[in-house]
Amino acid sequence: MSSRQFKLGAFLMQTGHHIAAWRHPGAQADAAVNFRHYVDLARRAEAAKFDAIFLADSVGVRNRDLPSLSRTARSDHFEPLTLLSALAAVTERIGLIATVSTTYNEPYHVARKFASLDQISGGRSGWNLVTSSGQGEAQNFNLDEHVEHARRYARAAEFHDVVLGLWDSWEDDAFVRDRESGVYFTPEKLHPLHHRGEHFQVRGPLNVARSPQGRPVVVQAGASPAGRDLAARTAEVIFVAHQTFDEAQSFYRDIKQRAQGYGRDPDSVKIMPGIFPVVGRTQAEADEKFARLQDLIHPVVGVQLLSNMLGGYDLSGLPVDGPLPDLPETNGGKSRQRLLVDLARRDNLSIRDLYLRIAGARGHQQVVGTPQSIADQLQQWFEEEGADGFNIMSPWLPGGLDDFVELVLPELRRRGLFRTEYEGRTLREHLGLARPAHRAAAARAHAVEEESLRALG
């Protein structure tokens, strides 16, 4: 029995994470615009005591030339903060994490929306801070070309600092709302930001009070050198893709060391790789489930998926059974391109082999097996410094999530690796993250303590 327990997120991707999930007979084909589908999934994940549900997002449509073949364009899906605000009303304990880019948003908007979700949900929100990677997104925001990679990360770092500053606009007890005296808030406990930086000029204050968990949890997903450094400085949860245990362990140790370099407790950063589990009661059953999904992939869709994930490099004119060519450096997502190129070279994969390999997990770890074999891998990664938890990427929905809950979770609980009941009510409590002190209040308390020590000495 393990003395430590890991964290689990339910990464909800419309019909499921496999590229052909929408064609699976057990999938909800109209999931992208079916609110009741998401209500059902959120309640299933909450009943299973997942730490959080997680929603990805982009602000553009990809693969516009493949509308009849693929749902990978995400051509129709809910805006995640709107969806999570609605789900907050029909759930009670599970965390609610949404992806919002720093590239094509403004800090005040993001700070206000997540603070509102945190209040609505009673302290259960989390912000997955990303930089946009798609050329199509740029063209929706007055640009012809996508913002250069290094500049995206510089903007993201300042964006994060502004948002955190806005979340500290009000101290916890600033709003007294005293009817008798007529005092609504204490002016001394209001802290406008007055930020002037390279990318942003934001006066503040935010017009939302501080939440039950202090502020939303900050999640980060980059694994490039710039992404790692941003994550080590800012993230409380890191969602990342790894192909091997050695990669996972190396990343884990690197991030924890970088976090220490920023004066942070390494345990204040929870690393949660994505895992794509296809579960069967026997190995043969799991293999058959996976083969059924793979058979639904249209080759054109597979090539387009791979092209997108390689930073927009067009592979459509190349022999599908030939090798992956040498690729120029991309202005898109660098870490995922590197991961896929390394995978193709290491395993001598053709273009077809590579798109089949990533069609389910898109570069994340793919596990096809029994509850015992899947639990073995999760346990190894957790106990040998590869992960603090996992983001579960169900192959199709709702059936893939049901398989994990009904078959794998009992095995994890038998080993003492996952909770049977929630220990708290906020997302921070679920994840074992401290409630952050308000910076001004903490500074004031520190000054009082220093003065007391001087008086004694």
Q: How do the pLDDT tens digits run along the chain, 457 residues long?
A: 557 899 999 999 999 999 999 999 999 999 999 999 999 999 999 999 999 999 998 777 765 554 444 444 456 789 999 999 999 999 999 999 999 999 889 999 999 999 999 999 999 999 999 888 766 777 787 776 767 778 888 999 999 999 999 999 999 999 999 999 999 999 999 999 999 999 999 999 999 999 999 999 999 987 778 788 888 998 999 999 888 999 999 999 999 999 999 999 999 999 999 999 999 999 999 999 999 999 999 889 889 888 888 877 888 888 888 988 888 776 666 677 888 888 888 888 898 888 888 887 777 899 999 999 999 999 999 999 999 999 999 999 999 999 999 999 999 999 999 999 999 999 999 999 999 999 988 888 777 777 777 777 6
Identify the pLDDT of residue 2. 57
CB-CB contact of 396 with 403 (8 Å): no
Distance CA 190, CA 197 (A): 22
Distance CA 363, CA 276 (A): 10
User: How far, in Å, are 55, 208, 288, 336 from residue 124 at the CA level?
Assistant: 14, 16, 38, 29
342, containing H or E segment: helix 334-347
The residues near 313 (Cβ < 8 Å, ≥ 6 apart) are 307, 327, 328, 330
Distance CA 52, CA 50 (A): 6
Identify the pLDDT of residue 68. 44
The residues near 278 (Cβ < 8 Å, ≥ 6 apart) are 286, 289, 290, 293, 360, 366, 367, 368, 369, 395, 400, 403
Assigned token pair, 406: 């009904």
Distance CA 120, CA 86 (A): 9
CB-CB contact of 281 with 317 (8 Å): no
Q: Helix, strand, or coil here: 162? A: helix
Identify the pLDDT of residue 226. 79
The residues near 302 (Cβ < 8 Å, ≥ 6 apart) are 19, 352, 355, 356, 359
Assigned token pair, 31: 């999931």
